[in-house]
Structure 1
Amino acid sequence: MKSTHVSQVIAAPASRVYDFAANPDNLPRWAAGLAQAEVRRDGEDLVAASPMGDVRVRFAPPNDFGVLDHDVTLPSGEVVNNPLRVLDHPDGAEVVFTVRQLAASDDDFARDCAAVARDLEALRELVEG
């Protein structure tokens, strides 16, 4: 199984990037691969309409370390862990998302990595804009 780290440097303080990305109301604005419409809260979980159907998402608790890891429960019941970090960077912040191939074909894995790159670019545009 391959893993790829997809990253984006954002010209803003890491704390601001973290706060924006951690806000569930902002997910449909930048995380198209996860949320295509308003996210609703169900206890500690978020429920989102995604390209895969409705998914349940549980983020790491709020923290001062920039950790936005999240487990996504797919419609099939499979749980996918997604490591996501907001790090200090000399130019502001760097957001790093680890994409894991799991059972995806090489072509699907490449598409997943490209989709994550688009999402992180959208995050950069929103935070910097």
Structure 2
Amino acid sequence: MESRHLSVVIAAPAREVYDFARRPENLTAWAAGLASGVTRDGDDLVTESPMGTVRVRFAAENDLGVLDHTVTLPDGTEVLNPLRVVPHPHGAEVLFTVRRLGMTDVEFDRDCAAVQRDLETLKRLMET
């Protein structure tokens, strides 16, 4: 099992980044993997993704910057995505762990590149 830790440093306070990133109405602005339109269903968010309809459940709001979330894929597979916003000397660092989970090298590299683009989009949004 291979994991890759991707990160970006954002020139904004960690709490502001955390608060922005966890709001459902902001997800489609920076998380392309969640494609379009997020609706709430109890504690879950439901959205259309490139894979079809997925359910997303974030960790409860906390003071530690933990934005871990479980994505339930259309086939019922659940994938835990570790995501953190931590204080950094220049603002905040956002760290996302991508797990290989049976992907080919090409698929894994493509998934990592997509996550890195999302992190860069979040950075642009927060620094504008």
- TM-score category of the 2 structures, normalised to the smaller one: over 0.9
Matched, 1:19 2:22: no
1:57 Cα deviation after fit: 0.3
Code of the residue aligned with 2:28 in structure 1: it is P
- 1:29-77: per-residue Cα shift (whole Å, max 9, x none)? 00001x2112000000000111110100000000000000000000010
Distance (Å, rounded) in 1 between the aligned partners of 2:44 and 2:92: 27
Tell me the TM-score normalised to structure 1 length: 0.98
> Structure 2: where are the runs of 5+ without partners?
none
Code of the residue aligned with 1:87 in structure 2: it is V
Distance (Å, rounded) in 1 between the aligned partners of 2:122 and 2:28: 11
Tell me the TM-score normalised to structure 2 length: 0.99
Q: Which residue of structure 2 aligns with residue 51 of structure 1?
A: 50
Distance (Å, rounded) in 2 between the aligned partners of 1:9 and 1:112: 20
Q: Secondary structure at the match of 1:68?
A: coil
1:81 Cα deviation after fit: 0.3
1:83 Cα deviation after fit: 0.1
Which runs of structure 1 show a deviation greater than 4 angstroms over 4 or more consecutive aligned residues? none
Q: Secondary structure at the match of 1:110?
A: helix
Distance (Å, rounded) in 1 between the aligned partners of 2:124 and 2:74: 30
Q: Which residue of structure 2 aligns with residue 70 of structure 1?
A: 69
Q: Which residue of structure 1 aligns with residue 109 of structure 2?
A: 110
1:11 Cα deviation after fit: 0.2
Matched, 1:3 2:3: yes
Code of the residue aligned with 1:8 in structure 2: it is V
> Structure 1: where are the runs of 5+ without partners?
none
1:9 Cα deviation after fit: 0.3
Tell me the C-alpha RMSD between the 2 structures: 0.5
